[in-house]
Structure formats: C-alpha cells, structure tokens
Chain A
Amino acid sequence: MNATMTPFRSALPSQRNDSFAHLLRAEWTKFRTVRGWVIGLLVGALLIVGLGALTGANSQCSFQPNGSTAPQACPAPPTGPGGEWVTDSFYFVRQPLAGDGSITTRVTSLTGLYSTHGGQAAGQSPTAGMTPGVQPWGKAGLIIKASGTAGSAYAAIMVTGSHGVRMQWNYVNDTPGLAGKVSAASPRWLRLTRSGDVIRGYDSADGTHWTLVGTATLAGLPPVSQAGLFAATPGYTTISTGLATASSTGGGALATGAFDHVALVGGWPAGSRWTGDAIGANSIVSGSLPASAQGFTQADGRFTVSGSGDIAPAPSAGDTATNTLAGVFVGLIAMAVIGVMFITAEYRRGLIRTTLTASPRRGRVLAAKAAVLAAVTFAAGLVAIVIVIPVGERLLRENGNPIYPASALTLVRIAVGTAALLAVAAVLALAVGALLRRSAAAVTAVIAGIVLPYLLATLPGVLPVGAEQWLTRITPAAGFAIQQSTPAYPQVYASYTPGTGYFPLAPWAGFAVLCAWAAAALALAVFVLRRRDV
C-alpha cells in the first residue's frame, strides 16, 4: 500500500460548469421556482406598503388654538435658513441697523422663573406660583436678525443658565465662549459686529480684553437688519431617568436678563427708539409663556428683558419619513424566514447533496446563495419602500400631521439604507440557517437578534436608562440607525432615545455593525460547512 495517497482531482474541466456565474444562475433558479418563497417575498413587500399606509391613515393630529372651538390641523413649525424645523420664539428689544455696525453690552444677571406642573389656571397671571430658577439653556444677550419673522437668519451671543457664554447662529450652530455663571460680581461683556454678511461675536470678563468667540456668515442678510437685546428660555423639562424611553414633564419658564452699558457703533439711524416684541409668541412652543408675561423695562441705560421660548432647532416636532416605515419589521421577519428556508429546505429535501456535488467549492455555494438572496430582497424591499414613503407621507399630511422636511439626500439614505437593512438581515438569516440547520431555531435567533433589542429599546417602561444605549450599539439592531431622520442637537435639551427616533450611532456606523454581524455569521457558516459532511 502506498504510504501517501495523492488526493483525487477530477479529470473534468473545472471552468465550464462551476463558474460563479453558473452558481448564481443555479441559485436564482432554485429561488424563483419555489412558489412559496416568491409569494412570501411579495407578501412581505405588500405588508410594508400596507402597514405604512395604515399607520398614515390612522394618525390624526389636531389642535385647538386658544379661543377657537374648531380643531385645526397641527401647524408645521417655521423652517430656518438650512431647511430644518426651528423654534423661534423670544422677546426682542430692537432697533434697526442699517449696514455695518456693532452693539456692545454688559450682562449683570440672568434670573428666571419656572413652573413644574404645566399650564396656569385661567384668570391668573401667567407667572403666578412659579419657582425661581434659570433653566440650563435659558439665554439672554445680543442678537442681529434678518427680520422679525420667525425662522429668519440670525446670529446671537448670549449668556446661558449653565453653559456659559455661547454664540449661536442660524439655529444649528453653537460655539462656547467664557464659562461660568453670570452675576453682579462676575458680569459678562458681549459684542456683536456686522460687516457685510459676516457677524462676529466677542466676549470679555472685564470690558477691555475681548476674545473672538465665533464668526457667522449669513448669506443674503438684508442691508437693514434688526439688532438688539433678547431673552428666551425653553420650558422646564425633566426627562425621567428611571426608564429608558424617557418621558418629559414640564411647564412654562421665563428668563430675565439685566443689561447695562449698551453701546451702539455704526449704521444705527439717529432717533430710533428701542421697541420690544415677543417674536413667535403665538406658536405652540411647549413651555413658552404668552406675550403678556414677557416684556422689557428701560431706565437710565439699564435694561431688563424678560422672555420665554427658544431659538433652536425643533426636535421631534412632528412626523418624519421613518414613521411611514412601520411595516419594515413585518418585511424583516418575512425576509428572515425566507432566508432561513432558502438553506434549510436544501437539507430537508436532500438537495444539498446534489448542490455540493455539482459545486465542491462550498464557500462559493454559500456566497452565491447570499448574493441571490440579497439582490432579491433588496429589490423587493426598495420597490416597497419607494412606494410607501410618498404614500404614507401623503396620508399623514391629509390627517393633519406636518412632515419634517428632510433633504433629498436623507430620504435617499433612508430608502436605500432600509432596503439594504432588509437584504443584510436576510443574509444573516441564511448564515444562521446554514450554521444551525434547524429552521425554527435559526429564525428565532435572527429575530431575537434584530427585532427584539429594538423592541426592548423602544417599548416604554421596560429597560433602565443606559441599557438601551448598549443594546442599540452592540446588537444587530444597531442597523436601524440608518433610519434616523433628524440629527440630535446638543443645544436643545430633549429626549434623544431610540423611542423618539434617535440612535446613539451615526446612520452608516450602525448599519456597519449589522453588516459586521452578517459577515461574521457568513464566515463562520462557510468554515463550518467546509468541515461538516453533507
């Protein structure tokens, strides 16, 4: 007997029947000739469209403005220069500024009132029974604004309740300045200078040594802008920290800033007087007090300005495109079932023996299966999503829900990303099915890996705070971050949890986590498939 055996090499030419293109064709034939799988795919796509339309048709939004009995559709918030929804509500003490110039002031105090329980009883003063205290993002300072319309471009430098001096412009930009709270012993000097379209903000602790805090370029700022002092504060909000999906409770708040040493240099028309307005007082900003509670006093060059509201992006103010994608979870379960059955059916019927005899290179068999499954699921998912997003948004609008104006790029990312999520989930199901070879356990493992963590993170009252951050970073459910429509803004205190549509990872980072899970499972499946017998 030979001591060594030469391995068998088939004399058949290996190129002609074993190329990857042939494998793809074989797998595609296997998929399309099973009536049940094709029907399951179509049913999954139909359910995506149907459930999106159903949720759109059943979401009514109406609100009753004060003094009217007929409910109206919920109004859309104003849009800022960048197209995002904004809250633009504050008390403005202003003069017109023609052309270039600067305004300087010294802020000696920032105080406030807030209420913990919501609206006041009718007939009472709006500030009756409020507790003294400034909100962390209560603000007072200088602002140069294109006009008095809510949503117009602006640049402002301000002192805040707990975040020091900040320069903010066009709602989404925010830069820190001097830290520390403002008081009579440690006042803050603020200055805004306009030259053309560029506005620069400076701060100082003593009035002589000035530091540049930030530079804002407001394209298209009109020659005559409105500039002056302002005060605003978001309402009192506590986001309860016992539970992961936080609920916020709050009431109205008022901030009062004390200004003196107001100096105007440049194009200020002579003879103008300071006029005070409550900008955006009729908007339904939560926590904003009515115009009667706001105001200003002027005596000997000292101003006190009291305002309520906020000048910031408006998170979670309405529905986004993601709300029309509720059916994607049904589609996900359907695709996972089909992905598992695509491989386990071969084992059950014994076809695997034929397949692996025809293509001895087992890794390529699995790769061809994954490619066909991913392509088919992506195509079906994309068609369904491209249909459901406009249809669902139209139904939501007809029911009075304002839709967040996401940019075209964001919508494309949401649509393509969600279809890719379905495809990658199906490939993950295929890999787990090849590993376990038992269809029920494989389907359960995939659904428990993708849908269950998302559910636990978004169901109210289930998980403690912090646990849902971990779940939506590590598990395959991180892939749902691709659906996030609006970014989280640090200068707005709100509940940024998966329950309200904000994920801890950036969209493509979260999707990459899901892809990593699928790739690892596929690699493990190839490894195991090569070592096992059929």
Chain B
Amino acid sequence: MNTVLRAEWTKLRTVAGPGWLLVAAIVATAVVGALAANAVSCPAGGCQVDPAKVSLTGIYLGQAIVAVVAVTAVSGEYSTGMIRLTLTATPRRWLVLAAKAAVVGTASLIAGALAVLASVLAGRVLLDGHGIDPAHGYAPLSLADGTVLRAAAGSVLYLTLIALLGLGIATAIRDSAVSIGVVLGLLYLFPIIAGVIGDATWKRHLDQISPMVAGMYIQATTDLRALPLGPWQGLGVLAAWAAGALLAGGLLLGLRDALSVGRRAANRGRGE
C-alpha cells in the first residue's frame, strides 16, 4: 500500500494543474464568502442572517473546483493512456482506487481547511461592519463557539466528500467532460428541480436526498428546526452518495478493461 500511495502522491504533485486548482479553490471560496458577507445589510427591525452560513457561501463555488481536481486525477490517466501502466504496476485495482481516494481526499481536506479558515476570518472581519455585531445580538464569528466550529469543520468534510464523489463518478465514466457534467448536474440540479415542483412533500424529499442541499445543512447555525434533516444527517446523505459513487467506480474499474472509451473505438476501427 505504501508504494501505491507514494505513486499516487507523486502523480498528483508533479503535475502543475491540481496544485494551482486547489489554490484557486481556496481563493474563490474566500472571495465569494467575503462578497456575500459584504452584501449583508441589517435593517433596523432585525435581520434573519446566519453569520456562519453567509461567510461560508464560497463553498458553492469551491466545491466545483475541488470536483475538477478529483475528476482530472482519474480521467487524466485515461486520456493519456497512463492507466494501463498504473494497472499493470498494481494489478489489485481496488488498491489503486483506495490510494487515489486517500491522496485526493487528503489534499482536498487540507485545501478545504485553509479555504474555510480564510472564509471565517473574512466573515468575522466584514460582518461586524454590516450589522452582525453584539448590538444586534450576534456574537463575533469565532471558532471557539461550538456551532460555528461544527459548521466550519463540517464544511471541510463537505469539500472532501465532494472530491470523493467526483473521484468515484470519474472512475465510472472515465471521460473528463462527461464526468464533470454528471457531478455538477448531481449537485446543482436537485435544488433547481425542487424549486420548480409545486408539491411540498416532493420538495422536502428531494431536498433530503440531494447531495448538495442536504450536505449544506451542516453549515446552518440558526433556525435548525426548519430544516428537513439535522446537520450531521445531511452530511451523512452526502457521505452515502460519495460511498456509492466510489463503490460503483470500483466495481466498474474491476470489471472493465483499462482502455479509455476513445481508444476502444479507435481499436474497433482497426479491426481488433
């Protein structure tokens, strides 16, 4: 396992793409969170703003970038044909997937922690001037507060689970554009469709099974009774999706040959 882990880590760090993309994810998360915090305005009557959730709004964009990193970690191997080398070196294919998941997951965890820290800091600094201050009954954002810590730590886990979800789907689909389309579709389409359906029970069920909406419940620090699921339950839904994707990807990896789709078509043309 050690050698496989080292191989996967080498693959990740020696290509310029993933590193810069993770930096971009950190910056994008912090900037969008700062912009959202800056847009808060508290009228005199009181505001129903969730300070932790507002400052962590950047996760909506950061998750897309983290998903790209995870997807290219797998589909890059297929498009370059390196997957044949990888699977020749490590015939136990589940080990390859496990090592990839460990390496990509750890990188996302670290990037996510930095992104969340930057967002919370930006939120703490900016929200104070926009009415979220002790005068309105809000304590300054601080990780010493249990609920804020839960929201922040949960968001870091959220980003890691998104990376694992992307990894699993890309292993199943193998083409990078289609996989990222499927991942982003899974994330963004559930809430859009739930918004259009008029039936309240269907809306609630769709929100409960949606990876992004349920996963984002971990960020809620106020008005928890209005949510269809508890915060950790919501994150559990996302974890279930990620586990399912990894399982499906692992099964397909073990059952199929190691060629990318395009190479098979080219081989078919050559009469193999």
Q: Do A and B bind each other?
A: yes
Q: A240-B48, A444-B180, A462-B57 are in contact. Are A59 and B191 (CB under 8 A)?
A: no
**B173-196 vs A, Cβ < 8 Å mask (1 yes, 0 no):** 000111111001100110111011
Q: Is A334 close to B, CB under 8 A? A: yes
Are A55 and B196 within 8 A (Cβ)? Answer: yes
Are A455 and B61 within 8 A (Cβ)? Answer: no
**B39 CB to nearest chain A CB (Å):** 4
Once the chains are docked, how many angstroms separate the CA of A330 from the CA of B75? Answer: 22
Once the chains are docked, how many angstroms separate the CA of A319 from the CA of B79? Answer: 46
**A392-408 vs B, Cβ < 8 Å mask (1 yes, 0 no):** 00001000010000000
Taking CB as reference atom, which chain B residue is nearest A51?
Answer: B193
Which stretch, A129-137, A217-225, A258-266, A340-348, touches the partner chain B?
A: A340-348
With a 10 A CB-CB cut-off, give which of B68, B180, B262 has the most chain A CB atoms. Answer: B180
Q: Is B209 close to A, CB under 8 A? A: no
Are B64 and A444 within 8 A (Cβ)? Answer: yes
Q: Is B49 close to A, CB under 8 A? A: yes
Once the chains are docked, how many angstroms separate the CA of A344 from the CA of B79? Answer: 12
Once the chains are docked, how many angstroms separate the CA of A462 from the CA of B49? Answer: 9
Instruction: Note all chain B residues with C-beta closer than 8 A to A459.
Output: 191, 195, 213
Selected contact of A58 from candidates B40, B199, B261, CB within 8 Å:
B199
Are B54 and A337 within 8 A (Cβ)? Answer: no
Question: Number of A residues contacting the other chain (C-beta, 8 Å)?
Answer: 53
Selected contact of A443 from candidates B35, B57, B181, CB within 8 Å:
B181
Q: Is B41 close to A, CB under 8 A? A: yes
Once the chains are docked, how many angstroms separate the CA of A463 from the CA of B40? Answer: 8
Are B189 and A330 within 8 A (Cβ)? Answer: yes
Are B177 and A60 within 8 A (Cβ)? Answer: no
Are B188 and A451 within 8 A (Cβ)? Answer: yes
**A298-342 vs B, Cβ < 8 Å mask (1 yes, 0 no):** 000000000000000000000100010010011001101100110
Interface residues of A in 34-62 (CB under 8 A from B): 36, 40, 51, 55, 58-61
Selected contact of A440 from candidates B61, B176, B198, CB within 8 Å:
B176
**A454-469 vs B, Cβ < 8 Å mask (1 yes, 0 no):** 1110110111111100
Once the chains are docked, how many angstroms separate the CA of A326 from the CA of B188? Answer: 12
Q: Is A349 close to B, CB under 8 A? A: yes
**B42 CB to nearest chain A CB (Å):** 8
Are B198 and A401 within 8 A (Cβ)? Answer: yes
Once the chains are docked, how many angstroms separate the CA of A51 from the CA of B193? Answer: 8
Once the chains are docked, how many angstroms separate the CA of A337 from the CA of B181? Answer: 6
Q: Is A383 close to B, CB under 8 A? A: no
Instruction: Note all chain A residues with C-beta closer than 8 A to B43.
Output: 241
Q: Is B67 close to A, CB under 8 A? A: yes
Q: A444-B67, A455-B192 are in contact. Are A439 and B177 (CB under 8 A)?
A: yes
Interface residues of B in 37-67 (CB under 8 A from A): 39-43, 47-50, 53-54, 57, 60-61, 64-65, 67
Interface residues of A in 481-501 (CB under 8 A from B): 499
Q: Is A242 close to B, CB under 8 A? A: yes
**B197 CB to nearest chain A CB (Å):** 5
Are A440 and B180 within 8 A (Cβ)? Answer: yes
Q: A330-B185, A444-B184 are in contact. Are A59 and B197 (CB under 8 A)?
A: yes
Q: Is A279 close to B, CB under 8 A? A: no
**A57-76 vs B, Cβ < 8 Å mask (1 yes, 0 no):** 01111000000000000000
Taking CB as reference atom, which chain A residue is nearest B24?
Answer: A441
Once the chains are docked, how many angstroms separate the CA of A40 from the CA of B202? Answer: 28
